[in-house]
Structure 1
């Protein structure tokens, strides 16, 4: 069991696939994972896009396994030559790949189901089904992640959850993992985010105030999201995030300082 305190557990995301980097497919995972985490009072700490390069994947996974972070990885766990995630995870951990018994059973059941529907064969000795069984070869010591869509499981090891790149499979598998493996993390650290719009105030003028706020309220982060105009009046979205009590005090301070420094607020304020 990971000994890292709940308050300092970071959550990371790998999105894997040459098709994402080349633009042949648009990523849909990032926004959805942020949504799934947010619904449980959790936040994404980092995300990384990677191609189907085994050496690069191995290096990235070696770093993330050593970090102690909770990590979700989408893509590359199939059994075609351009899928390298399972092998890279095993290499990063220094363990062999092995056919997981539960995965073998589930893949066999899936093949029988599709055969009964008139597609393929239930004979697991055929070349096609032997190839499908390779999708159940995980780093030694892994546990399965159930796949409600077609039974072909993902795998879990060392706080890393590996799922397919298909959203229809990946998202329910990640939800299952969040609710079954990390329920103790849900809403464990109170966190809020507040912001407001201010006009006629350059970032350079408010930046020292933001720095002072972070020093005065440790654990609170101040942020600034400027607009370049886009044909409208230029403005800044200023805000704070962190512990509810401290964030409320910091927000009041930020608003007052923005006003003092000449910021103009919306009429709807």
Structure 2
């Protein structure tokens, strides 16, 4: 990995009718976002698209033009509705066929006699793509330009992400601190806006929740790549929280 001055950005594209219908609960978005944030890549957008070629093509072309990386999950299995690889080949305007390298990987787990037409679909790779090894079940993903295509099964996706992570360009890691306001979001909105205006290079968010005692509360999250700017903003946020506590005290 290399430390870059400019932010490195990413989008996550999840492919699958089963996600959109609710039959399958996605477990990959949060994992990928947390993983990338930890290594200095900002996830800026997430799209969930159906198993429709034109929808996948449109999404990948839009996202790859906008962000440093696009991480795609799902739709690279052996069945008829696994059309991600074909769709991405179409998006890049390249051919797709059984890749000898991918076929050899499948044979590490599947006997030659069992390598039927359906299973061979998992070895079809767009021309010019690099393979993403799959230590779990051997069927590889692939990486073409800035688009990284991984399996939808969480354990396999996680293993693939570990494989590609050392090759990714990374930026300066976003630092973050959280403090409970011990107040409703409406109580902190005004003063928090003033603090945000005073620290324009820092991102400040408020996230309401219900505390264990059943009372409404708000987490205040301050983010910055600069430790000094983060500390300065947190100083003002803590002072605000203390001031509101005094005002709300019975």
Contact residue 36 and residue 175 of structure 1 kept, 8 A: no
> What is the CA-CA distance between 1:22 and the residue it aligns to?
1.7
> What is the CA-CA distance between 1:208 and the residue it aligns to?
4.2
Partner of 2:22: 23
Partner of 2:125: 138
| Pairing 1:232–2:232 present | no
Q: 1:265 to 1:222 in 2, by over 3 A?
A: farther
Aligned length: 245
> What is the CA-CA distance between 1:200 and the residue it aligns to?
4.1
Moved more, 170-179 or 205-214: 205-214
What's the TM-score, normalizing by structure 2? 0.85
Q: 1:200 to 1:168 in 2, by over 3 A?
A: closer
**Post-superposition CA distance 1:20-55 (Å, at most 9, x none):** 222222211122223422443444322222221222
| Residue pairs, 1:110-149, within 5 angstroms | 110-112=109-111, 122-123=112-113, 129-149=116-136
Partner of 1:159: 146
> What is the CA-CA distance between 1:169 and the residue it aligns to?
1.2
Unaligned runs of 5+ in 2: none
Partner of 1:118: none
**Post-superposition CA distance 1:207-236 (Å, at most 9, x none):** 344344344333310111123678622222
Contact residue 178 and residue 221 of structure 2 kept, 8 A: yes
Partner of 1:63: 62
- In 2, Cα distance between the equivalents of 1:9 and 1:61? 18
What's the TM-score, normalizing by structure 1? 0.80
The structure where strand makes up a greater share of residues is: 2
Partner of 2:237: 254
Contact residue 37 and residue 174 of structure 2 kept, 8 A: no
Partner of 1:193: 176
Partner of 1:177: 164
- In 2, Cα distance between the equivalents of 1:146 and 1:74? 14
- In 2, Cα distance between the equivalents of 1:58 and 1:244? 40
RMSD: 2.7
- In 1, Cα distance between the equivalents of 2:66 and 2:223? 24
Corresponding residue SS for 1:44: strand
- In 2, Cα distance between the equivalents of 1:15 and 1:265? 46
- In 1, Cα distance between the equivalents of 2:89 and 2:48? 20
Partner of 1:213: 195
Q: 1:102 to 1:266 in 2, by over 3 A?
A: farther
Partner of 1:36: 35
Q: 1:134 to 1:207 in 2, by over 3 A?
A: same
